[in-house]
């Protein structure tokens, strides 16, 4: 698949960097220019970008680490293709882990970390166009990861990273390209929910932080239903145990 000049940062061919190549591939996946399950051919990408295969291989490793692709032994790397069951399993983990991480962050976080979260939130605020979706997704993941790190629980951080990599947030961003009319409302709601989580963490309101984080993931659940067609009854089955849990009721 040929690349347009606008996708290649100035100087990429003169000074190839794995992160630059990662950005090109990342944007194309989110824009739906690569389909789920499509193979990302190292040699082909190298030829198209006019770079050596080494940074391409490293960029593909970054895609795998970011949860957008998977490496199949003896075959190569392909865009991740998740089944409905895998998406629901990842959703269930996020319902549990995000509320737990937010509660821990409110209990253990310090001013330095909450300021870092605030800076990330402000970076996301102006990213409201389809062209911003790649950057928006990266900052979104960084925001949630920093919440987990703020709780200072190493095991939770590792588990959260694994769950995040398995979660199809990139598929939701990709779906926005097919439903651009939903973009402003979805992004504004996401920003307000992030701000509410941050406020609760900043004021050390642990039950409130857990509740706001849970509400945020429940909103994502509605997007899974609307944008990805995940059956509502399967989502609600997972949600019920958390919405009734005393831990998240404060």
Tens digits of per-residue pLDDT, 55-77?
Answer: 999 999 999 988 889 999 999 99
DSSP state of 189: H
For the chain, the domain total comes to 2
Three-state SS for 119?
A: helix
pLDDT in tens, 155-173: 999 999 888 878 888 888 8
Write phi, then psi, for 91 (nearest 5 degrees): -65, -45
So what's the pLDDT on residue 69? 92
The pTM (predicted TM-score) of the whole model is: 0.81
Statement to judge: residues 114 and 229 lie in one domain: yes
For residue 135, what are the domain limits?
Answer: 84-249
Asked if 57 and 137 sit in the same domain, the reply is no
Domain boundary among 35, 51, 79: 79
CATH code: domain of residue 17: 1.10.10.10
Assess whether 238 and 183 both reside in one domain. yes
CATH number for 242: 1.20.120.530
Residue 6 has pLDDT above 70, yes or no: no
Report how far residue 31's alpha carbon sits from residue 172's, in angstroms, rounded to the nearest whole number: 11
DSSP 43-104: HHHHHHHT--HHHHHHHHHHHHHTTSEEEETTTEEEE----HHHHHHHHHHHHHHHHHHHHH
Check whether residue 124 and residue 205 sit in a common domain: yes
With a CB cutoff of 8 Å and minimum separation 6, the contacts of 152 are 104, 108
Considering the domain architecture, whether residues 75 and 165 belong to the same structural domain is answered as no
If asked whether residues 38 and 89 sit together in one domain, one would say no
Q: What is the mean pLDDT of residues 42-51?
A: 92
């Amino acid at each position: 698949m040929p690349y347009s000049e606008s996708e290649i940062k100035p100087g990429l061919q003169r000074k190839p960097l794995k992160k630059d190549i990662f950005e090109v591939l990342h944007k194309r996946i989110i824009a739906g220019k690569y389909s789920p399950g499509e193979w990302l051919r190292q040699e082909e990408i190298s030829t198209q970008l006019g770079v050596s295969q080494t940074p391409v291989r490293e960029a593909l490793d970054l895609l795998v680490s970011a949860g957008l692709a998977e490496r199949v032994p003896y075959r190569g790397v392909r865009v991740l293709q998740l089944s409905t069951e895998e998406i629901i399993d990842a959703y269930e983990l996020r319902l549990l882990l995000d509320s737990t991480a937010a509660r821990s962050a409110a209990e253990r976080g310090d001013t330095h970390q909450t300021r870092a979260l605030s800076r990330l939130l402000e970076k996301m605020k102006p990213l409201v166009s389809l062209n911003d979706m790649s950057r928006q997704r990266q900052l979104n993941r960084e925001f949630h990861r920093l919440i987990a790190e703020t709780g200072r629980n190493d095991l939770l951080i590792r588990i959260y990273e694994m769950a995040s990599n398995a979660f199809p947030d990139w598929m939701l961003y990709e779906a926005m390209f097919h439903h651009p009319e939903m973009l402003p409302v979805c992004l504004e709601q996401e920003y307000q929910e992030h701000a509410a989580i941050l406020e609760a963490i900043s004021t050390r309101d642990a039950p409130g932080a857990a509740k706001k984080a849970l509400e945020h993931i429940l909103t994502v659940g509605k997007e899974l239903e609307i944008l990805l067609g995940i059956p509502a009854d399967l989502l609600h089955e997972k949600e019920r145990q958390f919405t009734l849990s005393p831990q998240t009721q404060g």
